[in-house]
Structure 1
């Protein structure tokens, strides 16, 4: 569906010029309706959008055409005498009349004042063979000059057996500036007329005229009774204060009342805007069902934001990742601050977990995250549903559905994006803290002391006790009495190594807990960005669209003036 733009000269320069308390003009209301259609596309029911789009097309075209001419269409049923009435107003036999039905098979037009009427008649799609003009010098000298600017159209019968005739009537019913229904005393209550035309266009009272024709067949008191009954019938069908005139094409001065109405309409030159205003009123009323009177939410509150982030955090498995990284941190630290003899013994036991940590840990973990899949996608879906549950009840059904769709607009890519955010949060573990290296150097120094002490004890036993070195052993290896002292040195070295390892493990445990909390916070910040970009922003954009939609519906309905920045 496409909608034609409102003419620039009638659009942007006038919007927002009036104070909010001043009822908006026709151009502002058409602009508002155009925004309503654009906002509703893909969200609201297609038929009402198509109808509004057709109105915008028609209004844009009509506003570009002559505003000096008033298009008046004579419509009626078979035998109502509208062609005779048309000829009586024109003063010439332009439209065929007679007993054969239907006499009028195509629309006939008579124009008073040709200047600018050509494009209008082309838009009305009236065959050039049936276009007539009253613009001669003789006409201008007569009373016809009071009808200058009138485009009078005689339509086929609305109840014709020919489908093309009925289609012609249906077309002009939607585009005529002033619609005149010609009825006769016998069939003014015709069900087809009232059901198909009067009731659907009941809001168009201001641009609808009822002509009770052929009153020459009635007695004077019967005319009043007939008009009263017709008025009662029309008011019961929704026409507020309907305009009714009587006429007779054969009686002297029988069309003066109708002619006076035409003169007034042409002189006022308001029929075009009044018709479009009535059309906008009618279509705007259909859009009011898509808005609620209560002010809608415009943002996602902090509570729902927090719940969404927590749900996505759980779906991404961030707590488990943080816990695993704490363990990996401790395992990595054990290679540096642990007692080397214990580490050597652990390696001799061929620990598979340790073998996995021998490569670059950070890159290994980064490659491990490919985003939540499987059941975690279901967790993401549940999180998206939960965030909208408290918002959609405050919206009309169509807009509630569009908010839910907005929340799920990135559902398929959220798992992968969450995985990427976890990758980015992984720390650079391969940059070892300096104190780890200091502790490792200290530990190996103690190991060296312990090893040298054991070797020293062996030499003391060999040379001091077993006298393996001859008569003159060195005092450092020949004095057996040094064995206890060297043994104490070895034990102290081993003990200090064990104590250092134990103390460092406690420090690493505290450090790894802080490290895990910090990393989980980093992951949560990344998840918050994902939640905002992929869920919160689309929801709030949709809520803002609904807010502007409500304002534009009110503007189109003529209830308020809206200024959009």
Structure 2
């Protein structure tokens, strides 16, 4: 069933949907009472519109002695309600039904068991006589409070003595200021007033209602005993029943009230006016993750491995006794480049943790600026909500970023082979010279030696091989240092990107989701209250 559409703005269906969305978004963020009230309004509206919309439920409410039961009897055309003056006589609500066919489920929902069929017009009127709202019986007052929230049209019956009663105005009329469209105030017993006094009472009652915010609410003077003003009251009720719109107007007022209560505690200026310092957050996370230590270890490890692969064969074996800087941190890759596992990086220091926590807190504070207190608290909590996952995520970034840094450049193999060649030449020269020494020692004839200029080949091979090996080692070390720095810069970029991604996923994204939730809340609330 499609609810009535107002002349302008969204339909009541759309407003109810928006109110429900706003209430669901506000759960856990705003105080429970207004959120529960909004959910109740949305649920109640769904039930009311599923029941008979051809009937208009009008409730007569008033204080003890106001004469509402007398009005009920006059309207119903019989002595249906017990009449009293000084004490409450109506203990439970009762209904008079004009053409009550189909009104059973509606009255079952209202929990009104006492029902009286009435013939005549207006067809579709369901008139309720409520207990006294100032009854000494708590159950009577609770019954009034319950039905005041459910009926389609409220007729408040007052008398000349108690029309200014503070309990009526402060407990009922003022809180229902948004429900003026579905409210009528009747000053009963005007026959007891001297000539001219009735007009003065009605004018004073009008003033009090205006102070309550109920501008434009119809105010009628009647007498249930003499019938004065009853025709005007009947005509007004006939008109409202014929329109069959009071139930929708009541729901519309309920939606506006619920939306206003949510707005009062959960809506403020635009969110996100301050941009979080993402660079500071990334820097703090990088420091806590040990990125500077890892970058330095990458450069040193590259040099260490290059020297071990391209150094002088007689001295490179000593590198085995020096720990690999990356392996010592549990970083690098296996034979196939797979992730080794959790690193052995030292835990962040107290100073590093403090800087990281401060950066996270600053993100929450900057994002929560200009938000109302409940939503600001939710945003700040969102910034810290996944703080416990940061250590593992950052460690994974570091371990992943260092995969492949152990790959050997091709030139290492070529230079290593060259080193073995010149080392072999030096060994050959040394052996050759040793053989010549042995021949001289044994006084054996020496073979003719080939020469390079003035130098014999054995000497050239020994000295040249040694010098060439040292030169190649020095050049290789220089190239390794430069390559290590280049590789460290590349790893640093990857690490910074990964750390920024972790910060975005675990810190900024929850904040953005919470801000988006607030934006959707304000939009839904605006649609519900429009």
Q: For residues 186-210 of structure 1, what are the alpha-carbon distances to aligned partners after superposition, in whole Å with 9 as ceiling and x for unaligned?
A: 1111122122111211222221111
CA RMSD of aligned residues (A): 2.9
Distance in 2, Cα, partners of 1:278 & 1:74:
19
Residue 149 to residue 228, structure 1, CA distance change in 2 (3 Å): same
Please, which of 322, 336, 343 is the counterpart of residue 309 of structure 2? 336
Q: Which has the larger displacement, 541-550 or 305-314?
A: 305-314
1:184 and 1:212 in contact (8 A); partners too: yes
Residue 158 to residue 370, structure 1, CA distance change in 2 (3 Å): farther
Specify the SS of the correspondent of 1:362: coil
1:487 aligns with 2:459: yes
Shift in Å, 1:430: 4.8
Please, which of 151, 156, 159 is the counterpart of residue 131 of structure 2? 156
Please, which of 534, 546, 549 is the counterpart of residue 518 of structure 2? 546
5+ residue gaps, structure 2 = none
2:2 alignment partner in structure 1: 10
1:131 aligns with 2:115: yes
Residue 204 to residue 411, structure 1, CA distance change in 2 (3 Å): same
Distance in 1, Cα, partners of 2:254 & 2:287:
54
2:332 and 2:402 in contact (8 A); partners too: no
Please, which of 393, 397, 400 is the counterpart of residue 417 of structure 1? 393
Kindly report which structure 2 residues correspond to 1:94-173, keeping only aligned pairs within 5 A, or say none: 94-99=80-85, 101-127=87-113, 130-134=114-118, 139=119, 144-145=120-121, 147-173=122-148
1:372 and 1:418 in contact (8 A); partners too: no
Q: Which has the larger displacement, 195-204 or 207-216?
A: 195-204
Kindly report which structure 2 residues correspond to 1:49-60, keeping only aligned pairs within 5 A, or say none: 49-60=35-46
Shift in Å, 1:455: 2.6
Shift in Å, 1:295: 3.5
Specify the SS of the correspondent of 1:187: coil
1:326 and 1:513 in contact (8 A); partners too: yes
Please, which of 306, 311, 324 is the counterpart of residue 279 of structure 2? 306
Please, which of 355, 367, 381 is the counterpart of residue 391 of structure 1? 367
Residue 351 to residue 547, structure 1, CA distance change in 2 (3 Å): closer
Q: For residues 140-162 of structure 1, what are the alpha-carbon distances to aligned partners after superposition, in whole Å with 9 as ceiling and x for unaligned?
A: xxxx32x1111101111111111
Q: For residues 507-539 of structure 1, what are the alpha-carbon distances to aligned partners after superposition, in whole Å with 9 as ceiling and x for unaligned?
A: 111111111111122222322332232233222
Q: For residues 155-176 of structure 1, what are the alpha-carbon distances to aligned partners after superposition, in whole Å with 9 as ceiling and x for unaligned?
A: 1111111100001111111111
Specify the SS of the correspondent of 1:210: strand
Q: Which has the larger displacement, 427-436 or 110-119?
A: 427-436
Kindly report which structure 2 residues correspond to 1:130-279, keeping only aligned pairs within 5 A, or say none: 130-134=114-118, 139=119, 144-145=120-121, 147-279=122-254
Q: Give the TM-score normalised by the residue count of structure 1.
A: 0.86
Specify the SS of the correspondent of 2:385: coil
Shift in Å, 1:293: 5.8
Shift in Å, 1:101: 1.9
Please, which of 404, 412, 416 is the counterpart of residue 380 of structure 2? 404
Residue 351 to residue 293, structure 1, CA distance change in 2 (3 Å): closer
2:343 alignment partner in structure 1: 369
Shift in Å, 1:54: 1.4
Specify the SS of the correspondent of 1:497: helix
Shift in Å, 1:227: 0.7
Please, which of 471, 475, 482 is the counterpart of residue 448 of structure 2? 475
Please, which of 530, 535, 550 is the counterpart of residue 507 of structure 2? 535
Specify the SS of the correspondent of 2:387: coil
1:516 aligns with 2:488: yes
Residue 311 to residue 256, structure 1, CA distance change in 2 (3 Å): same
1:80 alignment partner in structure 2: 66
1:6 alignment partner in structure 2: none
Residue 183 to residue 223, structure 1, CA distance change in 2 (3 Å): same
1:366 and 1:426 in contact (8 A); partners too: no
Specify the SS of the correspondent of 2:475: helix
2:97 and 2:117 in contact (8 A); partners too: yes
Q: For residues 346-375 of structure 1, what are the alpha-carbon distances to aligned partners after superposition, in whole Å with 9 as ceiling and x for unaligned?
A: 66xx54669978x99634994461677454
1:32 and 1:555 in contact (8 A); partners too: yes
2:417 alignment partner in structure 1: 441
Distance in 2, Cα, partners of 1:114 & 1:492:
120
Shift in Å, 1:437: 1.5
Q: For residues 472-502 of structure 1, what are the alpha-carbon distances to aligned partners after superposition, in whole Å with 9 as ceiling and x for unaligned?
A: 443349x9x9876633442222111111111
Distance in 2, Cα, partners of 1:360 & 1:264:
83
Distance in 2, Cα, partners of 1:226 & 1:161:
27
Distance in 2, Cα, partners of 1:356 & 1:317:
15
Shift in Å, 1:57: 1.7
2:476 alignment partner in structure 1: 504
2:270 and 2:371 in contact (8 A); partners too: no
5+ residue gaps, structure 1 = 1-8, 559-565
Shift in Å, 1:238: 2.1
1:451 and 1:490 in contact (8 A); partners too: yes
Q: Which has the larger displacement, 167-176 or 304-313?
A: 304-313
1:371 and 1:416 in contact (8 A); partners too: no
1:525 alignment partner in structure 2: 497
Q: Which has the larger displacement, 176-185 or 238-247?
A: 238-247
1:309 and 1:527 in contact (8 A); partners too: yes
2:153 and 2:182 in contact (8 A); partners too: yes
Distance in 1, Cα, partners of 2:331 & 2:66:
96
Q: Which has the larger displacement, 525-534 or 329-338?
A: 525-534
